[in-house]
Amino acid sequence: MNENLRADRRTYVTHLECSMTGERFEADRLQGLSRVGRPLLVRYDLDAIRACVSRELIETRPTDMWRWREMLPVRRTESIVSLGEIETPLVLIPRSGGTNVLIKDEGRLPTGSFKARGLVMAVSMARELGVERIGMPTNGNAGAALAAYASRCGIETVILCPEETPEVNVREIAAQGARVWRVNGQIDDCGAIIGRGAAEGRWFDFSTLKEPYRIEGKKTMGFELAAQLGWELPDAIFYPTGGGTGLIGMWKAFDEMEALGWIGSKRPRMYAVQASGCAPIVRAFEAGKEHAERWEDPATVAAGIRVPRAVGDFLILRAVRESGGRAMAVGDPAILKAVDAAARKDGLLLCPEGGATLAAYHAAVREGFVEPYEKVVLFNCATGLKYQMPPTTNVLDRHGEIDLSVL
Ligand SMILES: Cc1ncc(COP(=O)(O)O)c(C=O)c1O
């Protein structure tokens, strides 16, 4: 265990705040949505942090996620249920992307996806606040991360997945000790069942943005990016957007870092990437709306972004618009082509959602939203190893005649 997980560091949470109305809620107690049914955001005494935590101090610490401890909500070090949340690398993909295109490869995290960031935080807080049972709807990776962290600290989990969830996800959830069911519906249909159980007091509802701490875990992607790029944010970020926790979290991290004096006011343009078969945020963006309507009959190979309705829709749209970015949709053929290109040309196996960001980047360059000389970060949110790959059928009979010239 490194020093970040041994040291007792001061924490600075002051309260929680409704993201819609600004109403204050008490920290250090179990909270779900605000009174008006919107996500709660964690607020800190940033002036006090500024007085005692500098970029230089952060740079002396091991680089894992817990180096940001003063800007995170967990009060007691022993509450942290770590599985080794490393800083993820920025990998250049010069041949399939371009010389200024970096992939933030989140597939290196525990459970093979960036869901580990949000769930390690939310589960650690649930443990700190005495939760014994958690319910969650998931398209796969979030459920896997929840199962792992909750089992590790003895919290029971009930997890519901849409029936189209990748098989590997359902199995890894079960293998990591959760009670998991496939449901003949979409993630919001699963969420409705979880909500009913939560209302009856059977479990605590861990749906995306319905508890305040997953965003705090995801915001470390924003801190990390800044530190990795010499405290200079990139020109553009492409983020595969389902519930949008990571995009909202990074946007929050940028504001917090500016208040701490760590970065200036320059922000990346944020591109929320969706699949053409499920693009509620894109439709709302294009119509100039603040909220997105449910997308009926969603269909895409990128299961993680098959989210017909997002409770934080207005937060995603606000961040995208304030940043000068866009919401963009890409089709499944372009997604699969991008996955193939990154693997063949740059040796990096992306998940389909990561492929979507690469496809959207190329579309953005084609359409003139992004210039090829601009520094761009694309998020690959899970390891490509979890997903189906095209079959290979070649076999060799070692006892027969082998024509080496055709190998
Ligand atoms: C691989 C992958 N990418 C992207 C997403 C979307 O993440 P968010 O809910 O933060 O928009 C998910 C969510 O399940 C995912 O598993």
pLDDT in tens, 142-195: 999 999 999 999 999 999 999 999 999 999 999 999 999 999 999 999 999 999
- DSSP one-letter code for 195: H
Q: Is the dihedral of CA 173, 135, 85, 215 positive or negative?
A: positive
Same domain for 220 and 369, yes or no, is: yes
d(CA 181, CA 259) in angstroms, rounded, equals 44
DSSP string, 148-191: HHHHHTT-EEEEEEETTS-HHHHHHHHHTT-EEEEESS-HHHHH
- pLDDT-derived band at 1 (thresholds 50, 70, 90) equals confident
Tell me, yes or no, whether 89 lies in a domain: no
Phi-psi bin for 266: left (phi > 0), alpha (psi -120 to 50), beta?
beta
Kindly report the average pLDDT of the chain as a whole number: 97
Same domain for 199 and 143?
yes
Residues above pLDDT 90, as percent of the chain? 98
| Residue labelled with tokens 């041949």 | 95
Domain span at 68: 3-73
Whether residue 251 is found in the same domain as residue 265: yes
Ligand 1 residue neighbourhood (C-beta within 6 Å) = 113, 139, 141-142, 208, 240-246, 304-305, 351, 353, 381-382
- pTM as predicted: 0.96
104, 221 in Cβ contact below 8 A?
yes
Contact 284, 298 (CB under 8 A): no
pLDDT for 86 equals: 98
Do 226 and 155 share a structural domain?
A: no
Which of 305, 320, 349, 383 for mutating ligand 1's site (highest number of atoms within 8 Å of CB)? 305
Q: What is the mean pLDDT of residues 321-339?
A: 98
The answer to whether residues 32 and 128 belong to one domain is: no
Tell whether 158 and 218 lie within a shared domain. no
- Confirm whether 322 is domain-assigned: yes
**For 127-134, what is the mean pLDDT?**
97
Looking only at the bridges linking them, the beta strands covering 204-205 and 179-183 are unpaired
Average pLDDT rounded to a whole number, residues 70-94 = 97
Do 350 and 269 belong to one domain? yes
- Residues 188-223: pLDDT tens digits? 999 999 999 999 999 999 999 999 999 999 999 999
φ, ψ (nearest 5 deg) of residue 181:
-130, 145
Same-domain check for residues 133 and 35: no
169 shares a domain with 220: no
Which residues of 305-365 form beta strands (DSSP E)? 326-330
Check which CATH number belongs to the domain holding 290 and give it.
3.40.50.1100
Co-location of 246 and 372 in the same domain: yes
Give tens-digit pLDDT for 257-288: 999 999 999 999 999 999 999 999 999 999 99
- Cα distance between residue 374 and residue 25, in whole Å: 41
201 and 251 within one domain = no
Rounded mean pLDDT, 359-374: 98
Closest Cα to atom 14, ligand 1: which residue?
304
Total tally of structural domains belonging to the chain:
3
Query: In the structure encoding, which two tokens stand for residue 7, read together?
Result: 């040291």
Per-residue pLDDT tens for 291-329? Answer: 999 999 999 999 999 999 999 999 999 999 999 999 999
Does residue 393 sit within a domain? no
Q: How many A from CA of 48 to the centre of ligand 1?
A: 33
Q: Does residue 373 sit in the same domain as residue 263? A: yes
- Whether the CB-CB separation of 117 and 86 falls below 8 Å is answered with no
215, 247, 381, 383: residue to mutate for ligand 1 pocket, most atoms within 8 A of CB: 381
50 CA distance to ligand 1 middle (Å) = 32
Choosing from 167, 189, 205, the residue where a domain stops is: 205
